[in-house]
Amino acid sequence: MLELTDQVHLSAFDEVEKIAKEFAPGLPEKSKISKLPKVKKPQTWEASVQRHVGVRAGEHSDVRLGNPRTGVAHSWVLKHGLPKPGMRDKRYHLGIQQGDHTIPYMDFEGELPPGYGQGPVKLETRQQADVYHSDPKKVRFNLYTGKGPEEFTARRVGDREYESLVKNKAISSSVDPKRVWAFHNKTPTKERLQLPMGRPPYKDKKPGQAQQLFEDPDTIIMPKLDGAHNQVALEKGKVPRVISYREPQGERPGGVIEHTHKVPSVLRKKVPAGLGGTVLRGETIAVDRKGRAIPAEELAGLLNSSVWNSRSEQRRRGVELRQSIFDVARYKGRDYQDQPYAKKLQVLRAVNKKLPSLFIPPIARTAGEAEKMLGDIKSGKNKLTGEGVVAWNLKGGRPTRIKLTEDHDVYVRKIHEEKGKRGPMAGGFSYSHTPDGPIVGRVGTGMDHKLKKDMLENPQDYIGRAAKIIAEKKTKSGALAKPRFSEWHLDKGVQPMDKAAGRGHAARRLGQRTRLPAAALARIQRRIGGAALPPGESHHVPLRDGAGHVRGFAVVRGVGRKSTPVVTTVYDEHMDPPGSDVEHLTKKSYIRELDGRFEVVSHKIPGKVLGRHPSRGRAEAQLRAIQVRKRGAA
């Protein structure tokens, strides 16, 4: 029997029992408030937001920043929660600093017993935070969600500000002034950055037509980098902002898709005063330890994942995201899009001198240099690209792309199954030349088996994406002659992060309906991930606590060809699940992880622990031994 123990409900009881000797759960001493430490270089802390409906204090949010170096969770009560992006600088949410809590309490969710803080607590946010600055009077920190980064500043209010708050009855005069803080959301918005969304058009020429451009003394040549087209916004005193030129498909903080905090090099130096109000264009690329750009599909994985996952994957693979600059949209607040490229190049060099992390691609000025650059790209000697070059006329005008292969951008409209001996996989996809245009053809080559299998199993992740297709020509009907898939387009179509944002929205709706946070739903989903379900059938999986008591049920349904288990809803112990009985997926003892240890749990006696082990390997060994004894007895 596969009985799933969800620690979201359980953690409350365990935690309260563990800290029974404290003044209140998670609060060792009622009146102790530690000063925030001095932090000048970025540190990783813990962060949580708990929605608390107190019997005495009413409904409010408990915002906590846990310093792993001290074990203290610095805490504030905010009546209206953290402020949203776009609030004017003078507007903020008031926070009243509370006593020091413990970091383990930041995971708490449940019912606080009678006494201090009595009432239900719901965990809304639990993650790590980047703390960029801290001192006893101020803290700057970032939170990274599936929607994107949000930046906050919390500061202690001044004496005059405190007096004004008391006068306007925003707070009581009995509140110690040193405990009153103002929380600001500093997340940049599209309006504040003055971003020209969209991408300027290029002219295209074939390599055989390039010689005239190479010989033009008013033209310079740059390699066309294998990356993602982004904008770089410069604000005085802040790090350069790397923002996608694409309009976000769903809700995003600030109304933009921001990659800044995934590009480590741009975080090292702030923008000097003379460059504020500047917006540049460039390509974000990822290079390995040898300085060679990785393929566009792998780059998409780094850009479309969360900040923490992107950083972790870059470290694991030994690659680093870097930002190039090659065009100027605004300079010191002035529209610069129609300026001659000679002037733009001066701006680019001035920026690169002050901010070396923003690099200018190599430049060829003579026909010989241009021919060598194109030759190196053809032969694979150029580490940054294999696509071709871009010609910029110093007097102005649209840039010209010279691509080594003729490719076409198409949109995936339908996935087709391949029938054969190699097992179920996609045989290709139908395409159109515009997102909603007529379907004009089909592509079936250029994709490996791994991609084909994933396309068939998860078609929703691919329909709407833009693909680069290499073909001999485009026919009058719009169909491509001898098409071959090349790679996914990073600048067009629906991106994986847009799909993830949609799934995140569905998870949040499920969380709201079931009163479970997204983290709890994710844990339930991981625990059923290895189960096999008959397609289309639903099962009610019990969620038990450490004592074996059923705390709720997850309704699980097999989806797709592999009948992947998906949680469709969750009921707590106070709600009756549909149906009169509870079905179980298997009849076996199982392993669960709790507080860093691995427990073997009996299926016959619900909740009974048969053994506790420091590693999963030892737990699996005991489980195998139990199964051998069962077979012997049989």
CATH code, 477: 2.40.50.140
Question: What is the structure's pLDDT at 74?
Answer: 95
Percentages helix, strand, coil for the chain (3-state, rounded to 5) are 25, 35, 40
Domain boundary among 449, 474, 494: 494
- Give the C-alpha separation, 51 to 44, whole Å: 23
Q: In this structure, which amino acid lies at residue 598? A: F
Residue 524: predicted pLDDT: 59
Residue 367 lies in a domain: yes
In eight-state DSSP terms, residue 106 is G
In a domain, 582, yes or no: yes
For the question of whether the overall pTM of this predicted structure is more than 0.75, the answer is: no
Pair of tokens at residue 270? 């702030």
Torsion from C-alpha of 138, 185, 173, 37, nearest 10 degrees: -20
CA distance linking residue 484 with residue 349, whole number of Å: 40
pLDDT of res. 114: 74
Looking at the fold, whether 233 and 104 belong to one and the same domain comes out as no
Residues 62 and 136 occupy one common structural domain: yes
**Whether 199 and 312 share a structural domain:** yes
Q: Are residues 452 and 393 in the same domain?
A: no
Quick one: 37 and 161 in the same domain?
Answer: yes
**Model pLDDT, residue 618:** 78
pLDDT of residue 582: 28
Residues 383 and 448 in one domain: no
Q: Note whether 532 and 601 are same-domain residues.
A: yes
Q: Under a CB-based contact definition with an 8 Å cutoff, are residues 348 and 361 in contact?
A: no
pLDDT along the chain (634 residues), means of 10: 30 35 58 90 92 82 92 92 80 91 85 76 89 96 88 94 91 90 92 83 88 94 92 94 85 87 93 94 94 86 88 91 96 94 96 96 95 92 91 94 86 85 82 90 88 85 88 87 86 66 47 50 55 54 55 59 58 38 42 68 65 77 71 56
* Same-domain status, 215 and 356: yes
- At 65 the pLDDT is 96
Residues 208, 350 within the same domain = yes
Residue 506: the pLDDT is 46
Greatest alpha-carbon span in the chain: 89
Within a domain: 16:
no
Task: Say what the pLDDT of residue 492 is.
Answer: 78
Return the CATH number at 388. Answer: 3.30.470.30
Domain boundary among 403, 432, 447: 403
Q: Domain total for the chain? A: 4
pLDDT value of residue 197: 75
Q: Which of 96, 117, 97, 95 lies closest to 19, judged by CA?
A: 117
Cα Rg, the chain, nearest whole Å: 29
What's the domain range around 490? 407-494
Q: Are strands 320-324 and 358-359 parallel, antiparallel or unpaired?
A: parallel
104: in domain = yes
Give the count of alpha carbons within 13 A of 41, CB side only.
1
Q: How far apart are CA 27 and CA 10, in angstroms?
A: 19
With respect to residue 10, please indicate whether it lies within any of the assigned structural domains: no
Residue 212 in any domain: the answer is: yes
The pLDDT score that the predictor gives to residue 286 is 94
Clarify whether residues 394 and 415 are in a common domain. Answer: no
Residue 222, SS3? strand
**Bridge-partner residues for 88, per DSSP?**
none
Residues 381 and 471 grouped into a single domain: no
- Residue-level pLDDT at 15: 35
d(CA 549, CA 607): 7
Chain length of the chain: 634
Q: What gap in Å lies between CA 629 and CA 620, rounded to an integer?
A: 14
pLDDT of residue 534: 54
One domain for residues 273 and 228: yes
Instruction: Among 494, 517, 541, identify where a domain stops.
Output: 494
Specify which residues 25 forms β-bridges with.
none
